[in-house]
Amino acid sequence: MSTNKNSARAARKPQARLGVDIGGTFTDVALEVGTTAYSAKTLTTHGAPERGVLIGMRDVIAKAGITPQDIDIIIYGTTLATNMLIERRGAKTALVTTEGFRDSIEMRNENRFEQYDINIDLPEPLVPRHLRFPIPERLTAQGRVLMPLREDAVEALIPQLEKEGIESIAVGFIHSYAHPIHEKQARDILSRRLPKVSITLSSEVSPEMREFERFSTACANAYVQPLMSRHLTALGRDLRDAGFQCPLFLMLSGGGITTLETAIEFPVRLVESGPAGGAIFASHVAHQCGVKDVVSYDMGGTTAKICMIDEFQPQTSRTFEVARVYRFMKGSGLPLRIPVIEMVEIGAGGGSIAHIDSLGRIAVGPESAGSEPGPACYGRGGSKPAVTDADVTLGKIDPDNFAGGRMKLDRDASAKVIAADVGKPLGLEVSHAALGISEMVDENMANAARVHAIESGKDIEIRTLIGFGGAAPIHVSRLAEKLNVPRVIIPTGAGVGSAVGFLRAPVAYEVIRSHHQRLSKFNGRAATALIAEMRAEAKKVVEPGASGAKLVEKRIAFMRYVGQGHEVAVNLPADKFGADAAKSLRKAFETAYKALYDRTIPHLDVEVLTWALLLSTPLPKVSSAKPVKKKIKAKPVGKRKIIDQATGQFVTAAVYDRTQLVPGSVMPGPAVIVEEHTATVVGKAYDASINALGYIVLDHRKLGKKAR
Amino acid sequence: MAKKNDALAQIHMQVMWNRLISVVEEQAQTLVRTAFSTSVREAGDLSAGVFDEQGRMLAQAVTGTPGHINSMAEAVPHFIAKYPMSKMKPGDHFITNDPWQASGHLHDFTVVSPTFHKGRAVALFANTIHVVDIGGRGFGPDGRQVFEEGLNIPIMHLFKEGKANETLMELIRTNVREPMQVEGDLFAAAACNDTGSKRLVDMMTEFELKDLNKLGAFIIESSRKATIEKIRKLKPGTYRNTMQTDGYDAPVTISAALTVGKDGIHVDYEGTSGASPYGINVVFNYTKAYTCFGVKCIVAPDIPNNYGSLLPITFSAPEGSILNVQRPWAVAARHIIGHCLPDTVFGCLHQVVPEGAQAEGSASLWNVQLRGGPSVSGGVAFKGNIPEFEMLQFNSGGTGARPTKDGLNSTAFPSGVRGMPVEANEAITPVVFWKKELRPDSGGAGTQRGGLGQIIEIGGIDGIPFDVLAMFERCENPAHGRAGGGTAKSGRVSLKSGKQMRGKGRQSIPPDDKLVLELPGGGGFGSPMKREPSRVANDVKNGYITREAAKRDYGVALRDDLSVDDETTKSLRTQRAAE
């Protein structure tokens, strides 16, 4: 697939940028030569993923008619680290920890993530108890040494570590975020005696308060490090051998890209880089379209991911949970305290299976039919009704033209399983049962989006929804209606959205430090010194990849009223803190707090817990697309009966072919706009049009004015 | 087959029901994010729900505390009785912490607020939160009457038409130890109800509803029917169980008779001990809540809580018993006994469900309430400053083994609250946790092993002395196993220097000494002789049990490399079977 956006050739050789996203099933490659985009999809080659990467790269380079030498930059993202954690295929790892705290990663938060199911299993710690080694040492919360590290006790571990065949060691001591002295001492001994073993210090990978999360992050980093290091080194070598001479960058979960060396040191920061790329993609689309308040919506086969994007920047967070073991439920995974793009992921995809719960209600997901056997309509043995089966029954997917007609779907098979599992138990005819499935999955996504918005202190109703991923265009119109969202954008290139997103990501690195200060006793000098130290650390990582670009710095203090448990992120305009710093910090905090919760609380002292500094290259300049003046009534290529979910009536929808549409085309809902891999369903409440970039835009007939 | 419009209406009902559950979830999230007390924000000790015009609960958020399940539901009708819906105004918020009208001790505030749609009050949002202090003696079991336990606020306005009740606020600020935090929590409670109201109005607009009557009837009826259907799958009859707990100064017997009928389950506590002269007594609302939670876990875990799903489960407890005390009995530490009720109920249900019910666990949370300062340790010889401080940390022992799985190590059950990080506590309190680690051999032996308790050692930083307001259960009465499973280790409270301490009541930790808490484990399920030797070996390898216990309790002999010595194991187990 290639789209010519601009045929005007620049005088000098156009820059060629390559983005590669290794997913669980597919490896996506996106190439841009100047303003021309090319893409390829190949199957992921498990075992030696770098092979699949090369196949995809050659494919796309051939399409563009260039050679490996012409590529200027490669940006690479992978789900391998994530999968290693989910499938527990990492290195044999040991944890060296403070005596008395051997079980922090097993005791977790001492609670059950699900209250009523007495048969839940807690996630197994990455390091079993017999490989967790306590060492006498102790610091206070202020970093004062209460008990010096017993170096002889560390020495004494060596034979045991050797005997167990340990490949990687996490070192996590209590309060090491306040002072890394003991962790560093331990590393000196371990690395001297065991030079081949990888060592992760909790004070380096996640220097923040809260022992369970920090130790868990250190263990995860140690667990994936040896294999990721091998894979990334092999990839670098293979690329050089294949003639690529350009630098290789890695996509991080926080939305920036970094050098190979940093990625090898902190591979845990590569977790979920694919979805991060998707969010960056949506941010770029938002920028192109000039929409400042956005919610991105990525729906694939198994899950849907929702992310808030403000001023073209996706919302970020410092915590993330990987490998959830129970219905994607919060608390059922391994916590990682790393900079991530904040999103909510729920078990709602095209393959999600519908059933009747014990209250006689339709429930959808999180179990998924996946791609094998897939929904019943795939005809590969799927015997349970999936969301895609409902979509086929409701006319949203044309069974004769799925995947560009390469795959014929079995409408009768869909009808049969829907009737059996949903229709019959509820006394509903098939179309109503399918409607119920579709409504329920859309409602689940809408609820998740709403709760996520409130957790982030955002108002969803003023936002523009940007939908991508195979199943999003089919469901986005109804989801938008449920969320009262005035406008929806469905960009082109959405099939390889993450890989395209990689190309838009800045070279960036975020440094985080726990450093507690109360504003009533604020020590400006310490804060100033801390910021300078953090800047130096970030520079070391970013500058090698920035090729001389002027760097952009963002500073954040995580603040709260003394006594509260959740902090609010406050942007710091200043990097030096003088006599009146406490006053200006309080003002900045109160502004941020008020924006979130509509009020401030007088008389209470305010404290800073954590400081973050994000250093990055500037975002590529994007000029907003001009509105298309000339409106053209688009010509349908056919018509189809589809259900109107709001009324339950079948209505006749005009069918349009996306490839025939030009900027300015308008199509009133209800309508279906078909393309190679998916179809956009336009509900009755929306009108569709094509903007200057070729993106589909849905505008709500009544809510239009609310869009910002 | 249903007609088109009926079908759509039915689907919309389901969608709206889901929406209501999501709305109360948002309400609860808003509260967690804006609250001040550690109990609310860290531990999740709160609840949130929406009620119809008659005060019937339609949806409740799933939060950290089963103790609020029925207690909040029962509180709302008291509010309507005093301030009828027709007299409520937009911007009104009402409040009480009356133990008998709400959730059983003065630390819990319930705030109720009306939702207005098209000029009419159509629903109520309510939430209950555990605030950090309410004056009096503080959070502990030492009170002899409720009057000693703090400030009691009858149902009144918290906000009147948007304006805060400043008289009430001033009274509260003057009487509690952490005035700013408590005031902040009450503001958060009002704000989260507003969030709920806003979302509810959005939904009613979207689906063109004038009131919630039809939707409410649908939710209540579906839930009631589904619960009854689950109950009908059980074998009818009356099943009894008795459990003994430590009590304050004398053991407490909890006797339950659970009757499975055609249309419901009734739990009666006839035979339970009388009220205690100390603050461990339970108000009936709270008894209902934890009993109901126990029943629901086994009988209908997947049915959401609302008026309808709670209807078929009924309760009785003799007035004046420890499970149904009247004013002015002391009630502050009512969770100690309340947390034991699900275990008692499980003992009844174990006789009903074929697979059996999970064994007894450590049950009661071990809340470590510490207090330090010159006035606390006034008479103690200590060189150096003793800063004023108050600290609350939640800790859990082991849960009982499940019929097909081991119990969970140091995990709260039935309470669902979260523990707090040691690092976070040490950052704000002058204490050092020298140990917080699993306690080997504390889980009861069984085909499925009981969850392990933990050992905690706390000292003052640089040796400062402090007090503990002890409220620790299962020190005399360990968790028993079921179906042949073994008894867990009981808890123990002592000084590092050796002296044994009491499980209940305020006591001092002298300078340079440490408080040592050994938390109880959960009971085992099924005969330990049937546990696969490889699992026993794995437990030894990981130090969950000792090699001696493997031999003594499980009849499993291990070689020095911790592999199973099959032959010796076989003869050990044969020998045991013969005994």
Is the peptide bond prior to A670 cis by the omega test (within 30 degrees of 0)? yes
A652 has pLDDT over 50:
yes
Comparing alpha-carbon positions, the chain B residue that sits nearest to A455 is B29
Of B308, B299, B306, the C-alpha closest to B231 is: B299
Number of structural domains (chain B) is: 3
Of A24, A113, A126, A125, the C-alpha closest to A326 is: A113
Q: Residues A64-84: pLDDT tens digits?
A: 999 999 998 999 998 888 888
Of B218, B6, B215, B35, the C-alpha closest to B123 is: B215
Backbone angles phi, psi at A677, to 5 degrees: -100, -10
Residue B455 and residue B380 share a domain: yes
d(CA B487, CA A410): 58
- In the three-class reduction of DSSP (H, G, I as helix; E, B as strand; rest coil), residue B317 is classed as coil
Give the C-alpha distances (Å, rounded to integers) separating B291 from A204, A569, B228, B269, B339.
48, 42, 17, 10, 9
pTM of the model: 0.91
d(CA B110, CA B130): 9
- The reported pLDDT for the residue numbered A565 is 62
Of A397, A401, A353, A355, the C-alpha closest to A375 is: A353
Give the C-alpha distances (Å, rounded to integers) separating B202 from A705, B21, B160, B205.
18, 14, 24, 5
Q: Of B190, B224, B258, which residue is a domain's last?
A: B224
Closest Cα in chain B, distance from residue A86 (Å): 21
d(CA A199, CA B191): 47
Residues A85 and A322: beta-carbon distance below 8 Å: yes
- Cα B207 to its chain centre, rounded Å, is 37
- The reported pLDDT for the residue numbered A4 is 41
d(CA B33, CA B10): 35
d(CA B473, CA B397): 10
Contacts of A240 (CB under 8 A, 6+ apart): none
| Backbone region of residue B328 per phi and psi (left: phi > 0; alpha: psi in -120 to 50; beta: other values) | alpha
- The reported pLDDT for the residue numbered A404 is 65
d(CA B441, CA A681): 61
Alpha-helical regions (H) of A90-170: 104-107, 151-164
Is any Cβ of chain A less than 8 angstroms from the Cβ of B577? no
Q: Tell me the residues of chain A between 152 and 211 that have a Cβ less than 8 Å away from chain B.
A: 174-175, 177, 209-211
When computed from its CA atoms, the radius of gyration of chain A, rounded to whole angstroms, is 26
Q: Do B14 and A440 touch (CB under 8 A)?
A: yes
Residue B538 and residue B444 share a domain: no
Residue B541 and residue B480 share a domain: no
Instruction: Retrieve residue B14's tokens.
Output: 């389901």
Closest Cα in chain A, distance from residue B523 (Å): 15
A705 has pLDDT over 60:
no
Backbone angles phi, psi at A95, to 5 degrees: -120, 125
Strand positions, DSSP E, B77-160: 93-96, 108-117, 120-130, 156-160
Amino acid of residue A185: Q
* Three state DSSP letters for B22-91: HHHHHHHHHHHHHCCCHHHHCCCCEEEEEECCCCCEEEECCCCCHHHHHHHHHHHHHHHHHCCHHHCCCC
Q: Report yes or no on B343 lying in a domain.
A: no
pLDDT grade for A10, boundaries at 50, 70 and 90 = very low
Give the C-alpha distances (Å, rounded to integers) separating A154 from A159, A182, B297.
10, 11, 46
Contacts of B483 (CB under 8 A, 6+ apart): B350, B356, B403, B525, B526, B527
A1 has pLDDT over 60:
no
Backbone angles phi, psi at B224, to 5 degrees: -65, -45
Give the C-alpha distances (Å, rounded to integers) separating B267 from B264, B414, B469.
10, 18, 33
Of A245, A248, A265, the C-alpha closest to A50 is: A248
- The reported pLDDT for the residue numbered A25 is 66
Q: Do A432 and B418 touch (CB under 8 A)?
A: no
- The reported pLDDT for the residue numbered A7 is 39
Residue B423 and residue B545 share a domain: no
Mean model confidence pLDDT for chain A: 89
Query: Mean pLDDT throughout A514-519?
Result: 87
d(CA B436, CA B518): 10
Closest Cα in chain B, distance from residue A151 (Å): 19
d(CA A170, CA A143): 20
d(CA B285, CA B68): 9
Residue B547 and residue B433 share a domain: no
Contacts of B238 (CB under 8 A, 6+ apart): B257, B258, B259, B260
Q: Do A566 and B405 touch (CB under 8 A)?
A: no
Residue B559 and residue B514 share a domain: no
Percent above pLDDT 90 for chain A = 58
d(CA B393, CA A467): 45
A385 has pLDDT over 90:
yes
Is any Cβ of chain B less than 8 angstroms from the Cβ of A517? no
| Backbone region of residue A643 per phi and psi (left: phi > 0; alpha: psi in -120 to 50; beta: other values) | beta
* Three state DSSP letters for A312-350: CEECEECCEEECCCCCCCCCCCEEECCCEECCEEECCCC
Q: Do A118 and B426 touch (CB under 8 A)?
A: no
Domain range for B539: 532-578
Of B175, B172, B162, B186, the C-alpha closest to B136 is: B175
Percent above pLDDT 70 for chain A = 95
Count contacts between A and B (CB, < 8 Å).
225
The residue written with tokens 């997917």 in the block is A397
Residues B79 and B42: beta-carbon distance below 8 Å: no
Which residues, in sequence order, are bridge partners of residue A171?
A96, A201
Q: Report yes or no on B104 lying in a domain.
A: yes
Backbone angles phi, psi at A556, to 5 degrees: -130, 140
Residue B445 and residue B423 share a domain: yes
Of the candidate ranges A77-81, A170-174, B316-320, the one whose mean pLDDT is the lowest: A77-81
The HSE-up count of residue B85 (CA atoms within 13 Å, CB side) is 19
Contacts of A440 in chain B (CB under 8 A): 14-15, 18
The A552-561 sheet, strands edge to edge: A508-518, A606-616, A552-561, A568-571
pLDDT grade for A564, boundaries at 50, 70 and 90 = low
Residue B464 and residue B439 share a domain: yes
- DSSP letters, A483-499, are HT-SEEEE-TTGGGHHH
A2 has pLDDT over 60:
no
Q: Report yes or no on B269 lying in a domain.
A: no
Contacts of A115 in chain B (CB under 8 A): 62, 64, 66, 416
Comparing alpha-carbon positions, the chain B residue that sits nearest to A107 is B410
Is any Cβ of chain B less than 8 angstroms from the Cβ of A530? no
A455 has pLDDT over 90:
no
pLDDT grade for A371, boundaries at 50, 70 and 90 = low
Q: Residues B426-485: pLDDT tens digits?
A: 987 899 999 999 999 999 999 999 999 999 999 999 999 999 999 999 999 999 999 999
Of the candidate ranges A261-270, A302-311, A348-357, B31-40, the one whose mean pLDDT is the lowest: B31-40
Of B519, B538, B375, B540, the C-alpha closest to B435 is: B519
Q: Which CATH number fits domain A2-85+230-270: 3.40.190.290, 3.30.420.40, 1.10.1740.10, 3.10.20.600?
A: 3.30.420.40
Mean model confidence pLDDT for chain B: 94
d(CA B23, CA B25): 5
Is any Cβ of chain B less than 8 angstroms from the Cβ of A563? yes
d(CA A273, CA A596): 28
A588-613 burial: b if 16+ Cβ within 10 Å, else e: bbbebbeebbeeebeebebbbbbbbb
Q: What is the ipTM of this complex?
A: 0.93
Q: Report yes or no on B330 lying in a domain.
A: no
Q: Of B174, B204, B224, which residue is a domain's last?
A: B224
Query: Mean pLDDT throughout B369-382?
Result: 85
- The reported pLDDT for the residue numbered A49 is 80
Is any Cβ of chain B less than 8 angstroms from the Cβ of A638? no
- The reported pLDDT for the residue numbered A71 is 92
A390 has pLDDT over 90:
yes
Of A184, A195, A194, A99, the C-alpha closest to A155 is: A194
Contacts of A107 in chain B (CB under 8 A): 409-411, 419, 436, 438, 454
A53-75 burial: b if 16+ Cβ within 10 Å, else e: bbebbebbbebbebebebbebbb
Query: Mean pLDDT throughout A566-579?
Result: 84
Q: Of B186, B207, B224, which residue is a domain's last?
A: B224
Taking the domains of chain A in order of start, what are their residue ranges? Answer: 2-85+230-270, 88-224, 523-616
* Record: fold of A88-224: Dna Topoisomerase Vi A Subunit; Chain: A, domain 2 (3.40.1360)
| Backbone region of residue A596 per phi and psi (left: phi > 0; alpha: psi in -120 to 50; beta: other values) | alpha
- The reported pLDDT for the residue numbered B380 is 79
Instruction: Retrieve residue B311's tokens.
Output: 């209807």
Residue B77 and residue B148 share a domain: yes
A433 has pLDDT over 60:
yes
A9 has pLDDT over 70:
no
pLDDT grade for A330, boundaries at 50, 70 and 90 = confident
Residue B565 and residue B439 share a domain: no
pLDDT grade for B54, boundaries at 50, 70 and 90 = very high
Q: Report yes or no on B386 lying in a domain.
A: yes
Residue B554 and residue B450 share a domain: no
pLDDT grade for A563, boundaries at 50, 70 and 90 = low
- The reported pLDDT for the residue numbered A706 is 44
Is any Cβ of chain B less than 8 angstroms from the Cβ of A451? yes
Q: Report yes or no on B230 lying in a domain.
A: no
pLDDT grade for A269, boundaries at 50, 70 and 90 = very high
Is any Cβ of chain A less than 8 angstroms from the Cβ of B512? no
Residues B41 and A565: beta-carbon distance below 8 Å: yes
The HSE-up count of residue B574 (CA atoms within 13 Å, CB side) is 6
d(CA A473, CA A453): 21
> Would strands B514-518 and B492-495 be described as parallel, antiparallel, or unpaired?
antiparallel
Give the C-alpha distances (Å, rounded to integers) separating A60 from B173, B458, B537.
69, 63, 55
* Three state DSSP letters for A82-99: HHHHHHCCCCCEEEEEEC
B421-446 burial: b if 16+ Cβ within 10 Å, else e: bbbbbbbebbbbbbbbbbbbbbbbbb
Which residues, in sequence order, are bridge partners of residue A354?
A364
Query: Mean pLDDT throughout B126-145?
Result: 93
Is any Cβ of chain B less than 8 angstroms from the Cβ of A117? yes
Q: Residues B278-287: pLDDT tens digits?
A: 999 999 999 9
Q: Residues B378-415: pLDDT tens digits?
A: 777 888 888 888 888 899 999 999 999 999 999 999 99
Is any Cβ of chain B less than 8 angstroms from the Cβ of A447? yes
pLDDT grade for A592, boundaries at 50, 70 and 90 = confident
The residue written with tokens 């196949």 in the block is A55
